[in-house]
Structure 1
Amino acid sequence: MVAHRNIMLWLAALVILGSCAAQTPIVIWHGMGDSCCNPLSMGSIKSLIQKNINGVYVKSLEIGSNVAEDTENGFFMNVNKQIDMVCQQLANDKNLSNGYNAIGFSQGGQFLRAIAQKCPTPPMLNLISVGGQHQGVYGFPKCPGDNGTICNLVRKMLNYGVYVSFVQDNLVQAEYWQDPLNEEEYRAKSVFLADINQERPTKNMTYKENLLKLKNMVLVMFLQDTMVQPKESEWFGFYEPGQTEKLYNMTQSDLYKNDYLGLKTLYQSGRITFLSSDSDHLRFTDDWFINNIIKRFLV
């Protein structure tokens, strides 16, 4: 009887370990003014995921050596440098070697898309962008959290000249700023967004090749968004060139029609999902996140 009981316990342990091992790891990247480990934001999201997916490994990206640096770097570290740092972090994490799902919040959404395009190893399986500004922004209406001093500095730098090289190289929000009244200068001087959106004369076709490796791209738009201008950027929409009122959607964009990035291929193969939340920027309930994100794409 003792031997039989020990065998049963051993088999049960194998089942539990196998179940945990089968869970795909998750990488999350916070937005502007936030950090990897804020208990009211990314810390809460990490806990919510872990409560609903038994044994899952969740990596919340930290850009810098501490929370303060992580927060500041979300404003003042060149995005391309951040991408390089994260690529190295992911490559060095043995928990991710067989692949991972990625969830980006606000600017973390387009940053993780850049990771998918530039760093295919380890493989990103599903990309979930929660309020990411994939066609950029044209406006800086307000700033989250207790970052008033930083936000005032950001506004001054944007007013100084968003496409001035010093601003482009040192201000994160300038690097995904798209001026529909001056598209030519944007394409010529944007150091980040114009590159990952294939808007330069020379196309990097490995970006398309790598993005097409995704199983799914999930795009979440907040219908009452007062942070992102225009909110349609969260679904790859933006202002038509030359004005700031009329908008185009993803399928009407040159980015989609030319398929330099693979959006058309992804969409026509059923691998792009558009979701919405009838709320302000990043304002969603636990139930919404569980039902729309965790249950549909992470388990």
Structure 2
Amino acid sequence: MFSFLTILLYFIHAVPIAGSPPIVLWHGMGDSCCNPLSLGSIIKLLKQQLSDPYVLSLRIGSNIVEDTSNGFFMNANHQIDYACKLLNADKNLTQGYHAIGFSQGGQFLRAVAQRCPEPPMLNLISIGGQHQGVFGFPRCPGDNETICNYIRDLLRFGAYESFVQNHLVQAEYWHDPHKETTYRKASVFLADINQERTFNEQYKTNLLKIRNLILVKFLRDTMVTPHESEHFGFYEENDTSKIIPLRESSLYSKDLLGLKTMDEQSRIKFLESDTDHLQFTDQWFIDNIISYLKD
């Protein structure tokens, strides 16, 4: 009897209850894991629309204050390492999870997919993620104007200085089209995950393991410059009047991340919202995103 109960209890704990797959969220700059007005509302919507999903909203730090601050000042590579440890330690994710990144959380979760293939990421949904970086620091989200003014000055005068690169998150995806050589050499995060420094075969192999890459671009975005970065587009070198879309980029033609392969297999979904940055309705989210989270 004892042996039977032991086996039964094992299966109760080891076999996940049928329902929607787990979902992992990563917030954007100036936000936190647990803001009831932002990710809190997303979690509520997910639970309303899906079959009782387990939702993990990543907190990078020991509390919400640290989580918000780390979105500005904790080296992005260290944040990815921190997130990977959280994901590996969470037994609810062992069979796989869907990932939704908001703004800079989009490229951070892509880095997770490339660097940490276990537990397996199923679909990766990037909502306003800056996958080719930014060239221009916008209005500040929330009550962080003093911080943002400080960051603007650092980016303007020393984005590629080693101290700034290692301690300022936004500098780590700052992409100056007039300084491409410097960017590729100095960028400690974006140039690495975009295979612009040295080629890492594992990054491509791991990203190809996901089912779909869903990219959301905001057509009236006043936060991300250029907003085409949200679909992997960016300025032509030395010419901010011209955008090179993903399919015309070397990243695509050389298939450095497997994006060409995924696109040819119809595994990249290019979505748009005719609104400002992260400004979407519940109904837009239901109509465009929920279907990718059901199985």
Q: TM-score, normalised by structure 2?
A: 0.93
Structure 1 CA distance for aligned equivalents of residues 285 and 148 of structure 2: 29
Q: 2:215 aligns with which of 192, 200, 219?
A: 219
Structure 2 CA distance for aligned equivalents of residues 88 and 298 of structure 1: 25
Q: How does 1:1-299 map to 2 (within 5 A)?
A: 20-200=17-197, 202-299=198-295
Describe the SS at the equivalent of 2:214. Answer: strand
1:21 deviates by 2.5
Output the amino acid matched with 2:45: L
Q: For residues 101 and 284 of structure 1, do their structure 2 counterparts lie closer, same or farther at Cα, with a shift above 3 Å needed?
A: same
Structure 2 CA distance for aligned equivalents of residues 74 and 45 of structure 1: 19
Identity of matched residues, %: 64
1:19 deviates by 9.7
1:296 deviates by 4.1
Does the 8 Å contact 1:20/1:54 carry over to 2?
A: no
CA deviation map 1:68-96 (0-9, x unaligned) = 11001000000000000000000000000
Q: For residues 19 and 80 of structure 1, do their structure 2 counterparts lie closer, same or farther at Cα, with a shift above 3 Å needed?
A: closer
Output the amino acid matched with 1:189: A
Does the 8 Å contact 1:20/1:55 carry over to 2?
A: no
Describe the SS at the equivalent of 1:244. Answer: strand
Output the amino acid matched with 2:49: N
Describe the SS at the equivalent of 1:39. Answer: coil
Runs of 4+ in 1 over 2 A off after TM superposition: 18-22, 295-299
Larger radius of gyration between Structure 1 and Structure 2 = 1
Q: TM-score, normalised by structure 1?
A: 0.92
1:20 deviates by 4.8
Q: Counterpart in 1 of 2:12?
A: none
Q: Which shifted more, 78-87 or 21-30?
A: 21-30
Output the amino acid matched with 1:88: K
Output the amino acid matched with 2:63: N
Does the 8 Å contact 2:215/2:268 carry over to 1?
A: yes
1:156 deviates by 1.8
Instruction: Identify unmatched segments of 5+ residues in structure 2.
Output: 1-14
1:159 deviates by 2.2
Describe the SS at the equivalent of 2:60. Answer: coil
Describe the SS at the equivalent of 2:25. Answer: strand
Structure 1 CA distance for aligned equivalents of residues 97 and 72 of structure 2: 26
Output the amino acid matched with 2:273: S
Describe the SS at the equivalent of 1:104. Answer: strand
CA deviation map 1:97-140 (0-9, x unaligned) = 00000000000000000000000000001000000000000000
Structure 2 CA distance for aligned equivalents of residues 22 and 281 of structure 1: 31
Describe the SS at the equivalent of 1:54. Answer: coil
Structure 2 CA distance for aligned equivalents of residues 100 and 265 of structure 1: 22
Structure 1 CA distance for aligned equivalents of residues 226 and 122 of structure 2: 28
Does the 8 Å contact 1:102/1:126 carry over to 2?
A: yes
Does the 8 Å contact 1:78/1:170 carry over to 2?
A: yes
Does the 8 Å contact 2:19/2:51 carry over to 1?
A: no
Q: For residues 19 and 291 of structure 1, do their structure 2 counterparts lie closer, same or farther at Cα, with a shift above 3 Å needed?
A: farther
